[in-house]
Amino acid sequence: MATGDDIKAACADLAGILRDMLRGVAFTGAGISTECGIPDFRSPGGLWTRNRPIDFESFRSSRQMRDEAWRRRFEMEAAFGGAQPGRGHKALARLLAEGRLAGIVTQNIDGLHQASGVPDTHLVELHGNSTYATCLDCGTRYELGWVRGRFEASGGAAPDCPDCDGPIKTATISFGQPMPGEAMARAGALTAACDVFLAIGSSLVVWPAAGFPVQAKRGGARLVIINREPTELDDMADLVIHADIGDVFEAVGQPEAAAEIARESIWVFSWRRRVLCFEIRIKRLCWLSGAKRSRRYAADGVGRFSAAVRIGLAQLAGSGRRRS
């Protein structure tokens, strides 16, 4: 687990990356909305581990499944309908308004990026949106209030499209439903052109969406991962912060916190230079004494420096003792 000092230094690095960013892309997952009271349905104990998700084929073919899907949707509305954008959403909306972000790609269906002021033109919703519905056959849009009125009036039956009798479903992408081609293409184009890819609050395991960070990195962009838990792609990233997303953006966005971070980073910078010079000497000493582990520790810089010195010196002392 990272210490507070590690996170402060990482936030300083993040502040620098955001300052220099010209056409970044933010890729967001459930973690950005947890502070808004919306749980990660995939997490252990989350909604999906208790209520098996209804896949697309079942929804389309079974009236009973459609009734159940809409019952769950209105149950969710009661629990999370009043959710407001969090600190992460607001920070990204600011970066977009400043022209540093070219767009936001999200796996979330909660509509909180729009609620923070992000226009649809700059937002790609890979898994759709649960705050409105569409007819699966003719594509007509229906608002939730309309669906709810019909649902309640009929005693819990999912309404069909008045125009074509097709099934009406939230505008989300369900399991078993193909990824939306247009959204995937827009996300791919944003990723191909970005200089920084910020992966925020996603465990980066849901494919094909998780392919975008890899694409960005291969295209030469810097990859930043901010998530509470480790992700599959941490090893590939230029900067990884395992901390609360709201806290991270608050630290980066506040002038007083930024000043603190700046002082911190100057200190870290000067130390890094000293460590680098010292590392070379230590490595040479360790090489002379046959200590192989030192390089791995020393290479990680400031955080591992004391460990490198300790191990290097201990091995030097050990080899000295063996000689005597």
Assigned token pair, 10: 């990482």
Torsion angle defined by CA atoms of residues 153, 170, 101 and 5, in that order, rounded to the nearest 10 degrees: 90
Nearer to Zn ion, 37 or 139 (CB): 139
Residue whose tokens read 């000067």: 270
Question: Is residue 161 at the binding interface for Zn ion, with CB under 5 A as the rule?
Answer: yes
**E-assigned strand segments in 56-175:** 101-106, 123-125, 128-135, 141-143, 168-172
Assigned token pair, 216: 């960005």
| CA dihedral (221, 224, 229, 230) positive or negative | positive
Does 208 sit behind a cis peptide bond, omega within 30 degrees of 0 on the bond before it?
Answer: yes
Nearer to Zn ion, 5 or 163 (CB): 163
122 is an active site residue: no
Instruction: Lay out the sheet containing 101-106: strands in order across.
Output: 123-125, 101-106, 24-28, 196-200, 222-226, 239-241
Q: Which of 89, 113, 122, 127 is catalytic?
A: 127
Q: Which residues contact 87 (CB under 8 A, 6 or more apart)?
A: 35, 245, 246, 247, 249, 250
Question: Is residue 164 at the binding interface for Zn ion, with CB under 5 A as the rule?
Answer: yes
Cβ at position 166, least distance to Zn ion in Å: 4
Which phi-psi region, left, alpha or beta, contains residue 99 (left: φ > 0; alpha: ψ -120 to 50)?
A: left
Question: Is residue 162 at the binding interface for Zn ion, with CB under 5 A as the rule?
Answer: no
| CA dihedral (46, 47, 48, 52) positive or negative | positive
Residue whose tokens read 């709201």: 246
Question: Is residue 204 at the binding interface for Zn ion, with CB under 5 A as the rule?
Answer: no
134 bridge partner residues? 141, 169
Question: Is residue 138 at the binding interface for Zn ion, with CB under 5 A as the rule?
Answer: yes
Question: Is residue 166 at the binding interface for Zn ion, with CB under 5 A as the rule?
Answer: yes
Question: Is residue 163 at the binding interface for Zn ion, with CB under 5 A as the rule?
Answer: yes
Cβ at position 141, least distance to Zn ion in Å: 10
- Single residue of 135, 226, 282, 316 touching Zn ion by CB under 5 A: 135
Nearer to Zn ion, 86 or 159 (CB): 159
* Piece of the chain touching Zn ion by CB under 5 A; list 106-114, 139-147, 173-181, 198-206: 139-147
CA distance 211 to 299: 29
Nearer to Zn ion, 164 or 277 (CB): 164
Cβ at position 177, least distance to Zn ion in Å: 17
* Piece of the chain touching Zn ion by CB under 5 A; list 9-17, 57-65, 86-94, 159-167: 159-167
Cβ at position 165, least distance to Zn ion in Å: 7
Nearer to Zn ion, 166 or 211 (CB): 166
* Piece of the chain touching Zn ion by CB under 5 A; list 18-26, 71-79, 131-139, 233-241: 131-139
Nearer to Zn ion, 129 or 134 (CB): 134
Residue whose tokens read 């998530």: 227
> Are the C-beta atoms of 305 and 298 separated by less than 8 Å?
yes
Cβ at position 143, least distance to Zn ion in Å: 15
Residues 20-59 that bind Zn ion (CB under 5 A): none
Question: Is residue 133 at the binding interface for Zn ion, with CB under 5 A as the rule?
Answer: no
Site residue total, Zn ion (CB under 5 A): 8
Cβ at position 63, least distance to Zn ion in Å: 16
Contact footprint for Zn ion (CB under 5 A): 135, 137-138, 140, 161, 163-164, 166
* Active-site amino acid positions: 127
